[in-house]
Homo-oligomer: A and B are copies of this chain.
Amino acid sequence: MNEREARAAWSGLVEPGDPVAGALVAALGPQEALALVERAARDGERAALPAFGDASRERLRRSVDGWARRWVPDAARGQLDWLARLGGRLVVPGEPQWPVPLDDLGPARPMCLWVLGQDPAELLARAVSVVGARAATPYGQHVAGELAAGLTDAGVCVVSGGAFGIDAVAHRAALAAHGRTVAVLAAGLDRPYPAGNARLLAAVAESGAVVSEVPPGHPPSRHRFLLRNRLIAAAGAVTVVVEAAWRSGALSTAGHAVGLLRPVAAVPGPVTSAASAGCHRLLRDGAACVTDAAEVLELLDGTPAAVPDVSLPTDGLGPHERIVHDALPVRGERSVDALTRMCGLGVADVLAALGGLELAGCASQRAGRWRRSRPARPA
């Protein structure tokens, strides 16, 4: 059995994110570690165990006992055959198609990825995760669609969980913008979940990829959903939550992103909307407030988003200039003497302010009498 087959087998033995399995495989390599499970399945508690790392021998024995009970010889071969028939591939750590961002998960890194679609390493080289409520509102759907389209236009891959609501909108908007998107599933690839999104997931696999860390045949479970969220958080360089109730799986994804020291952003919404309560909770806990794709790109690239140019010519005025400007008539003209009385400023200060205003194009004079003027705005 080669390393790929051993990792495929491991992905069927362990529950996602099992750190004991991760550490054992890292220490012994997947094949030798698997041989240990195989021996335990055959010999039970008499099978010898190595001492390794921090995990105590007792902890290891309990875990090996569990994996051994799931051990079915050659189970992975059938699953790999199924994947190959659909044109999919198994991707394992260290090979060029392995997405290195997942390595940040440490011992909770997946054993392998079951992939339908394109090269996940390439897709996830520049990616943002967009997640949110299944029970999304029209507002959330609108914003998620705009965000995903804007990210796609900037060449960013949109990662999500393939669920109803925000996830589905994010995937669809990326596809509609002729972009690439990755769906990370909690169950085996033979069980697109939810079934209502099966066609969407097939489209995602066309130009992007649908991936899972559990082998075909494995059903989703609550635990697998929660642990799947760590993959979504690791796959995107930034995680954006568009709508989330006070309790929401999207918040677990955000929590994983925080643990990975990845930026977390939340889209605000009406405080009267329960569907935004989780986003506001994140904002209170320090998530970045984002309102459009440009602001997400700012987090991704560290470059400031362009701000709307709504500056006024009077913005740069000092206090004296502002006071004198307030006193300048729009129609007619006013003498310096009259201005000093109105402004409560000395002649020298009024003359200095008028000079500044004239330079800024905000004042003009005729024979020593002054009026307000409107500067030409730069094109």
Contacts and interface: CB of A to CB of B under 8 A. Distances in A.
Nearest to A221: B326
Interface stretch (A82-90, A99-107, A338-346): A338-346
Interface string A323-366: 10111000000000000110111111110000000000000000
Contact of A270 (B226, B270, B280, B325): B270
Contacts of A67: 344
A287 to B, nearest CB: 9
A13 B344 contact: yes
A288 interface: yes
A62 B349 contact: yes
A344 B18 CA distance: 11
A66 B13 contact: no
What copy number does this chain have within its complex? Answer: 2
Given A280-B291, A319-B223, A322-B223, A70 B344 contact: yes
Given A280-B289, A346-B64, A271 B268 contact: yes
B280 A226 contact: no
A323 B270 contact: no
Contact of A272 (B143, B284, B341): B143
Given A246-B310, A289-B283, A323 B271 contact: no
Nearest to A287: B289
B223 A326 contact: yes
Interface of A: 13-15, 17, 61-70, 139, 142-143, 221-224, 226, 246-247, 267-272, 276-277, 280, 283-284, 288-289, 291-292, 295, 308, 310, 312, 319, 322-323, 325-327, 340-341, 343-350
Given A66-B340, A66-B345, 11 more contacts: A15-B343, A62-B349, A63-B345, A63-B346, A63-B349, A65-B348, A66-B343, A67-B344, A69-B340, A223-B319, A269-B271
